C-alpha cells in the first residue's frame, strides 16, 4: 500500500501511481477522515496498516525527524510543490531499484530522494547513500 501525504492529492499524481502500482494507493486523509492530521500523528496511523510506503515532499518535517519503523517505509522526495507532478516518476524509479523493489527490502527505512542520489537510514540512524538519476 502506498499512502500519499496531503500535498500529493492531485488526481494526476494518484492516477499515475495507480496505473503502475499493483497495490492500493490512498491519501493519508483516508486514515482519519474529517480531521486534521498533524505530521507527528502520521507514523501512528501508518502503524495500523500492513507494511505501508508513505510518500511525501515535506522533507523538512519527515527526513531525519522520523524514527525508522520496521513495518513502514517513509519516502521523502526532495521536490518543491511546483514540481509535485514528478512524484510518480521518481517513486516508480525508486521502487524499481533492486534494493527497494520488495516490501521486505524497503520496510524499516526512511529515504530521501534527491536529483543525484538517495540517502536512507534504518533504526540505527546510519545514513547510507546511493547514486541515481530519477
User: Is a pLDDT exceeding 90 seen at residue 36?
Assistant: no
Cβ-contact 130, 105 below 8 angstroms = no
The string of pLDDT tens digits covering residues 78-101 is: 999 999 999 999 999 999 999 999
Q: Which domain holds residue 68?
A: 2-131
3-class DSSP assignment, residue 101: coil
51 vs 119: CA distance, rounded Å? 20
116 vs 118: CA distance, rounded Å? 7
User: pLDDT tier at 71 (50, 70, 90 boundaries)?
Assistant: very high
- What's the total number of domains in the chain? 1
Mean of pLDDT values over 50-69 = 94
Q: If we measure between CA atoms, which residue out of 27, 29, 73 comes closest to residue 47?
A: 73
89 vs 51: CA distance, rounded Å? 22
User: Is a pLDDT exceeding 90 seen at residue 108?
Assistant: yes
Mean of pLDDT values over 98-127 = 96
Q: Nearest 10 degrees: CA dihedral of 19, 87, 23, 32?
A: -120
Q: By percentage, how much of the chain surpasses pLDDT 70? A: 100
pTM across the whole model: 0.95
| pLDDT at res. 110 | 97
Amino acid at each position: 500500500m502506498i499512502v500519499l501525504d496531503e500535498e500529493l492529492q492531485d488526481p494526476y499524481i494518484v492516477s499515475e501511481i495507480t496505473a503502475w502500482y499493483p497495490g492500493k494507493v490512498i491519501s493519508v486523509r483516508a486514515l482519519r477522515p474529517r480531521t486534521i492530521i498533524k505530521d507527528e500523528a502520521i507514523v501512528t496511523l501508518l502503524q495500523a496498516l500492513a507494511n505501508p510506503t508513505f510518500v511525501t515532499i515535506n522533507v523538512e518535517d519527515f527526513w531525519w525527524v522520523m524514527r525508522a519503523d520496521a513495518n513502514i517505509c517513509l519516502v521523502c522526495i526532495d521536490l518543491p510543490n511546483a514540481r509535485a507532478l514528478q512524484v510518480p516518476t521518481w517513486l516508480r524509479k525508486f521502487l524499481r531499484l533492486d534494493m527497494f523493489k520488495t516490501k521486505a527490502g524497503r520496510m524499516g527505512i526512511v529515504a530521501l530522494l534527491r536529483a543525484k542520489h538517495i540517502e536512507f537510514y534504518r533504526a540505527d540512524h546510519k545514513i547510507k547513500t546511493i547514486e541515481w538519476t530519477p
